[in-house]
Structure 1
Amino acid sequence: MAQLAETYACVPSTERGRGILISGDPKSNSILYCNGRSVIIRYLDRPLEVSIYGEHAYHVTVARFSPNGEWIASADVSGTVRIWGKHSDHVLKNEFRVLSGRIDDLQWSPDGLRIVASGEGKGKSFVRAFMWDSGTNVGEFDGHSKRVLSCAFKPTRPFRIVTCGEDFLVNFYEGPPFKFKLSLREHSNFVNCVRFSPDGSKFITVSSDKKGLVYDGKTGEKIGELSTEDGHKGSIYAVSWSPDSKQVLTVSADKSAKIWEISEEGNGKVKKTLACPGSGGLEDMLVGCLWQNDHLVTVSLGGTITLFSASDPDKTPISFSGHMKSINALSVFLQSSQKVILSSSYDGVIVRWIQGMGYSGRLERKDNAQIKCFAAVEEELITSGFDNKVRRIPLRGEQCGEAESIDIGSQPKDLSFVLHSPELALISTDSGVTMLRGPKVMSTINLGYTVTASAIAPDGSEAIVGGQDGKLHVFSVNGDTLTEESILEKHRGAISVIRYSPDGSMFASGDVNREAVVWDRVSREVKLKNMLYHTARINCLAWSPDSSMVATGSLDTCVIIYEVGKPASSRITIKGAHLGGVYGLSFSDENSVVSSGEDACVRVWRITQQE
């Protein structure tokens, strides 16, 4: 049996020049955000408790809790809204095609019976309001000529809907059924976000023209604005009201978040500018915010989520981050009695996690090059990108030292350290292998066939190279020369991964034809066969520290764990470990497997042996 013990969640997907809308449920103190095809539910006071919904067929753009906190409506780039249950089984209540293009915002009516959605559409249909149970339209929304970026439902009766967007307009509708009432053109650039105060007396719009305007909630007339004194110096992307309707939180491309006091008349003055952590780079632009209970939540373009205390904004904020893109590799090692997990995504981000605690920082590298292959031991990282270079980066605790880069002439396919003397490394490219000692190339061998995977033994005396033809070539290593000893044929597809067991007595290989094989290193006989339980290519493979178990991860989203001494049929299968496929695997101890994948999440699974 394998049970999910921890999830280190991905961060929200962001795009430059656009705000993102995060929402929450004050009752359970949880927030919702989207990444790829997933909707992530996170609890602000319990960061390792994460629930993920992955049933959309397209990228999800926005998600919101119903007023009673029991249902979630989420929308995607195809214009579809799905309504599903918050609890673990995420039962689907309804699915409606609402717009013909991407949905940018949606909101529930305060009674939970209607939903309004806005975004891109054909003709003039950029906004639609409908009944949550039947999908029937509840009004006509004329008046916009371009994409509608945000919409809001008045939280008190009489109901109103306000919309705003790329045509610089703010439109006000009365209903239900909703009809156009008036249009306001007070902004001179995209209007990015509109929100009603919780008491319904006012609403506010914020725009790329750096302004925030306040309106009467009942009539839609403009009554005030945010002061330009101490105001934002860049586009304002998002706004959120305090629960008592007296203050708002705004975030901007100028990398700052501000708390404003809103007077009865509707004018706003800055009460506090929040100092957001970060180095001041492009990544630190702020694109999303939420005021929930005592938490002020901000989201940066790089995906970092920062929590401030509303009652004590001077208190040091808590920040957590993670990956935004698919994680292609991970590595686990012990560092001063903590189990450290390093994961890398192809956009060049390497994140450090501590098992049991979660996020522990990003490894800042001088060269933020893209990463294709990655391996790590306690003192060193070795990475390769799409620039034909291999980089050896010293690790000093949580810091990266100066990288040494080695150009090996073509794109690295696979890389591995010699466990007992990590200065020795084997790199494979399409046409052959390269041996490195430290930053020096010891030898490069052209093998005359297409190489797809490679591994070097823990003691450095043997290497195995896997080919496109499904053959495993075993080499003995003497100094810097490789001598072919034998060719093993069992696989029926290109080899995708090879790994030696930690004790060096066995090795395991996996192929694109979904089969894995465990071999005895001395006799080169098959030790565990019929490992044919995946339904798609095997991407990654890992051994337990005591060499008794081997785990495989596949494009079919599953992780399968085998015991070497038992038949393959007594395996443990983790179904749906990662939406989109599993790309990284490692054991952190005899009873824990760490996995990562296309969904940009890292998960820790506890294994309990079946008697």
Structure 2
Amino acid sequence: MYSGVNTVLKFMLRQSFLWGTKSNPSLCVGLRIGILPKENKLIIACALDNSKIQIILQNEENNWIKYTTLSGHEDWVRGLDFTVNESGDLLLASCSQDGSLRLWCILSTKDNENKDFPYKILLESVLNGHEGWVYSVNWSPTNMQLLSASIDKTMIIWEFDKESGLWLESMRVGEVGGNTLGFYGGCFNSTADRIIAYSYHGAFHIWTKGENGRWLPDVTVGGHFGAVVDLAWEPQGDFLYSVSVDQTARIHGPWQKENKEITWHEIARPQVHGYDLSSMAVISRYKYASSAEEKIVRTFEAPTIFIDNMKRLCRISEGGDTTSDMPKGASVPSLGLSNKAVFIDDNLEDTVGMDKNNHFPEESHFVAQILTEPPTEETLLQNTLWPEIQKLNTSTWQEIQRLISHTLTVVQMQFSPDSQNLLSVSRDRRWSMFSKNSQNKFELVATTDKHTSVHTRIIWTCAWTHDSKYFATGSRDGKLVMWTKNADKEFVKPLGQYEKTNAVQYPGQSVTAVAFGPDFVNGGYLCAAGFEDGKIEVLIIKHHSECNVMLNLDTSAAHHLTVRKLAFRPKFGRAGEKEENKQVLQLSSCSSDMSVRIYDLIL
């Protein structure tokens, strides 16, 4: 069970008017506050879109005055940072969309003409090394090193060379390949032995300084950069799938380093698509299907390199339906959307078959990597794809059966655990039940109408209990309703033998996700409900309309936007632990706030 304490911090702020202008206004895209070393007064530097830097000072009366404007850059100024050099003077670093960095030295002067500011600002150096816009600069907290991050996919550490008297590049790190758009910011840690950067697609990158002085990529956190619309556990609960409108499918798994606490990381990115993904379904341990806006369902199978890496990283047994002829990995052609299987050992030259008649063969970017720790962003982008094994297209597939009931968009469908029933919910405020007949075909056996439906608004979600005896529906009207089949009831259309057993009302809420646990808990069904405002509630539902709230997760612990999907781990205990613990069950959730969360419920 998650428990937390909400702490409210109150600050007393004094509002001060700094400066403004009505003629030729400029957009301020960055601010940095520094302290003048000898005067102990504040100085503010403003990065402007007119390629200038505005300097604002605090005078003796603690009022703010517009002191001067620094010119030199030829495009928007994007980043600023202050430090104090070895001489005790204030040093300002600036970066711009013109691809350059400038260092400004603020020197103390004995000139008494300007009592408010006995300093002069001189341009010390211009640094050119990036091939694109430079978005941020950051001084090292321990020495005179400057870190710059650019859209050209690189970060550079600059250092002053006393012999030449110049600022020179001492280290360069960055991304190679992929469809990324470079770095939007970077900074040192407090001990200056690590640097972190974030990119356009929301990924974090960390480099750690080794004993030999080399900077090496390190493990960091990751996740989607668009609304996460669906997720599902692997059948044995060892790892988690998720898909998003950021056009990627991702696999999250537990990792334990040197007997330390288990942490969750992105282990693979099996699909990087050209369309927003809308849903997914797990077929088996190493197979899944996904759908997207292109109206095509694609199925994927794990390559051998993924299975081998999962054994090391997540300590799971092989299991699944693996074969010796499975591909090593996958690669996406330059002008394609389908992941092509790559059958290689370790030789990159063998990834593409040679054809003498084809002078422009497709290039494979896949490189098999043996992982001992969670992969970096560069590896995730290019070397963790899964090959596509089948494509279901409306123009080529053979229709087996058409199930007709709803009159508006079908929002969600759910097979019962015993595979005998298919439940669907729709925008038409109805649910429909299709059951297998003696010919192994599905037929409509029950549905609701405006007289029998408890819901008065769109039904967003549905879920079955683990024993296939009950199912629940949740809608925009804030109702969570339990239904069951009563064999003793006379068959009367449209409900047939189905009837309502429980109903929970959430006034002013919209129920957008619901899920049931893998087994009984305290004599009842464990149910989780997600809401439009991001909150999650866990219930224990028993017979005879008895519902007990077990846990409430508000927006500080759950999500702050719509909960799109909930899923309990298929087994009790924590993923990554060998022993099953009946006192713990994990619940996963995804949301429009771009996050995937996993909770430990203490039962």
Q: TM-score, normalised by structure 2?
A: 0.68
1:98-117 paired onto structure 2 within 5 Å: none
Decide which of 125, 128, 132 is 1:234's aligned counterpart. Answer: 132
Question: Higher Cα Rg: structure 1 or 2?
Answer: 2
The CA distance in 2 between the partners of 1:381 and 1:581, in whole Å, is: 25
One-letter identity of the residue aligned with 1:172: I
Give RMSD over aligned pairs. 3.0
8 Å contact 1:349–1:362 — kept in the other structure? no
Q: Are residue 193 (structure 1) and residue 79 (structure 2) matched? A: yes
Aligned to 1:103: none
Distance 2:84 2:235 in 1: 49
The aligned amino acid for 2:49 is E
- Picking from 289, 298, 317, the partner of 1:391 is 298
Deviation, 1:578, is 1.0
Distance in 2 (CA, whole Å) between partners of 1:152 and 1:136 is 16
Partner of 1:596: 590
User: 2:224 is aligned with what amino acid?
Assistant: H
Within 5 Å, give how 1:88-167 maps onto structure 2. 89-93=6-10, 133-137=13-17, 139-140=18-19, 145-155=25-35, 156=37, 157-167=40-50
Aligned length: 454
Question: 1:239-296: CA deviations, max 9, x gaps?
Answer: 100113411111111101111103579842100111x34x523425111101122321
- Structure 1 residue aligned with 2:186: 289
Letter in 2 for 1:242: S
Q: In the alignment, what sits opposite 1:354?
A: 253
Give the distance between the partners of 1:245 and 1:222, measured in 2 at CA. 21
The unaligned stretches of length 5 or more in structure 1 are 6-87, 95-131, 410-435
Q: 1:509 deviation in Å?
A: 1.9
Of residues 161-170 and 305-314 in structure 1, the stretch that sits farther from structure 2 once superposed is 305-314
Q: Shift in Å at residue 303 of structure 1?
A: 1.4
* Corresponding residue of 1:444: 402
Work out the CA distance in 2 between the residues paired with 1:159 and 1:556.
42
**1:557 and 2:543 aligned:** no
Alignment deviations for residues 373-397 of structure 1 (CA, whole Å, 9 cap, x no partner): 2222422222222222222222344
For 1:253, which of 151, 157, 160 is the aligned residue?
151
Does the 8 Å CA contact 2:432/2:447 hold for their aligned counterparts?
Answer: yes
Q: Note the C-alpha offset of 1:521.
A: 4.5
Shift of 1:527: 6.8
Structure 1 residues 16-41: Cα deviation after superposition (integer angstroms, max 9, x where no partner)? xxxxxxxxxxxxxxxxxxxxxxxxxx
Question: Residue in 1 aligned with 2:455?
Answer: 492
How many angstroms does 1:399 deviate by?
4.1
The aligned residue for residue 530 of structure 1 is 503
1:466-477 matches, cutoff 5 A: 466-477=425-436
Question: CA shift at 1:194, angstroms?
Answer: 1.1
1:272-283 residue pairs with structure 2 within 5 A? 272-274=171-173, 276-277=174-175, 279-283=176-180
Partners of 1:568 and 1:266 in 2: CA distance: 79
| Secondary structure at the counterpart of residue 436 of structure 2 | strand
Q: Secondary structure at the match of 2:402?
A: strand
Within 2, Cα distance between the matches of 1:513 and 1:302? 36
Aligned to 1:373: 279
Partner of 1:262: 160
CA deviation profile, 1:466-517 (whole Å, cap 9, x unmatched): 3444333222235674322223534223322222233333322222222122
Work out the CA distance in 1 between the residues paired with 2:147 and 2:103: 13
Which residue identity does 1:465 align to in structure 2? S
- Give the direction of change, closer, same or farther, for the CA distance of 1:534–1:600 in structure 2 (3 Å limit): farther
Counterpart in the other structure of 2:98: 209
**Aligned position for 1:571:** 549
Question: In structure 2, what residue type is equivalent to 1:587?
Answer: F
Contact 1:255 1:280 in 2 (8 A): no
In 2, Cα distance between the equivalents of 1:482 and 1:372? 25
Distance 1:227 1:556 in 2: 48
1: CA distance between counterparts of 2:265 and 2:230? Answer: 17
Letter in structure 1 aligned against 2:531: S
Q: Is the 8 A contact 2:511 2:529 kept in 1?
A: yes
Partner-residue secondary structure (3-state), 2:431: strand
Q: Could you report, residue by residue, the CA deviation over 1:390-412 in whole angstroms, capped at 9, with x for unpaired residues? A: 22222344642215332348xxx
Asked whether the equivalents of residues 250 and 269 of structure 2 are also in contact (C-alpha less than 8 Å), the reply is: yes
Deviations 1:326-381 (A, max 9, x none): 2222111256xx73122222222223222442122341425342112222242222
Q: 1:325 matched to which residue of 2?
A: 226
* Contact in 1 for aligned 2:44/2:55 (Cα 8 Å): yes
SS in 2 for 1:324: coil
Alignment deviations for residues 51-98 of structure 1 (CA, whole Å, 9 cap, x no partner) = xxxxxxxxxxxxxxxxxxxxxxxxxxxxxxxxxxxxx6352535xxxx
Q: Distance in 1 between matches of 2:279 and 2:229?
A: 8
Whether the 8 Å contact between 1:308 and 1:317 is mirrored in structure 2 is yes
Q: Quick one: distance in 1 between partners of 2:224 and 2:407?
A: 36
Match of 1:314 in 2: 215
* Structure 2 unaligned blocks of 5 or more: 108-118, 255-261, 307-383, 488-496, 573-584
How much has 1:167 moved relative to structure 2? 0.1
- Cα 1:286/1:235, change in 2 over 3 Å: same
Deviates more, 1:213-222 or 1:323-332: 213-222
Structure showing the higher strand proportion among its residues:
1
Residue 332 and residue 536 in structure 1: after superposition, are their counterparts in 2 closer, same or farther (change >3 A)?
Answer: same
Kindly state the Cα deviation for residue 216 of structure 1 after the two structures are TM-superposed. 0.8
Looking at structure 2, the residues matched to 306 and 385 of structure 1 have their Cα atoms a distance apart, in angstroms, of 29
Shift of residue 446, structure 1, vs aligned partner = 4.0
